[in-house]
Chain A
Amino acid sequence: GAGVSQSPRYKVAKRGQDVALRCDPISGHVSLFWYQQALGQGPEFLTYFQNEAQLDKSGLPSDRFFAERPEGSVSTLKIQRTQQEDSAVYLCASRTGGPLTGELFFGEGSRLTVL
């Protein structure tokens, strides 16, 4: 396919609204990651899936953040009751292979602005 696809590319939300960000990984990639990138910062890990199993969610900043990958392909990151500090670019990446030999393929990101 064309690579990792994310939608929407841009989202403006009023504080308190819920948002859902979608990631369509490269076909056949078992591993899927979500990262959050604030302005002027590097990407920060949020959560990791292996197929449909969420194996690590230690980076989710609060219980307002929820991610799922029910059929082991498309993933959704949901943010409830958005706050201004949630404004960031949310990056999805998929990978085949292990953490040292595999390569993360990133999407273009979803830029969330919370007003």
Chain B
Amino acid sequence: AQRVTQPEKLLSVFKGAPVELKCNYSYSGSPELFWYVQYSRQRLQLLLRHISRESIKGFTADLNKGETSFHLKKPFAQEEDSAMYYCALPNFGNEKLTFGTGTRLTIIP
């Protein structure tokens, strides 16, 4: 069965420091992954997806098949990055998204 693991429930980083949110997955095929974000008092929304190879709000995520990881990175944290972050993996052959348990990122001013 496929699985998404986010090992850190909480992560605090100083403003201006690099950020790395970890995501590991278990999947037998060739995965396509997503990062979703929930800012305070806002709804869950898409941040970025692997298939688009994009950088959003300074965040990037690289798929590492050898390490089965899709870590989210940003070189210089900003206060507005404080939020809950979820890594998600689509199921092959159906419409489900499997979400990780999330990491709450707090940027310290």
Contact = CB atoms under 8 A, between A and B. Distances in A.
Interface string A90-112: 01000000011101111111000
Given A56-B95, A99-B95, A104 B46 contact: yes
Given A48-B96, A56-B95, A43 B51 contact: no
A65 interface: no
B26 interface: no
Contacts of A35: 99
Interface string B68-109: 000000000000000000101010001111111110000000
Contact of A100 (B32, B43, B100): B32
A94 to B, nearest CB: 12
A19 B5 CA distance: 32
Nearest to A43: B99
Given A42-B86, A42-B100, A106 B95 contact: no
Given A40-B101, A42-B100, A99 B90 contact: yes
Interface string A21-56: 000000000010101000011111100100000011
User: Which of A31, A35, A45, A59 has the most C-beta atoms of chain B within 10 angstroms of its own C-beta?
Assistant: A45
Contacts of A41: 101-102
A3 interface: yes
Interface string A68-95: 0000000000000000000000010000
B45 interface: yes
B43 A3 contact: yes
Nearest to B46: A103
Contact of B98 (A3, A45, A56, A58): A45
Given A42-B102, A108-B43, A100 B96 contact: no
Interface string B28-45: 000010001000000111
Given A42-B6, A42-B99, A44-B99, 5 more contacts: A31-B95, A41-B102, A43-B44, A56-B94, A58-B96
5 nearest A-B residue pairs (beta carbon): A42-B99, A106-B44, A45-B96, A48-B95, A103-B46
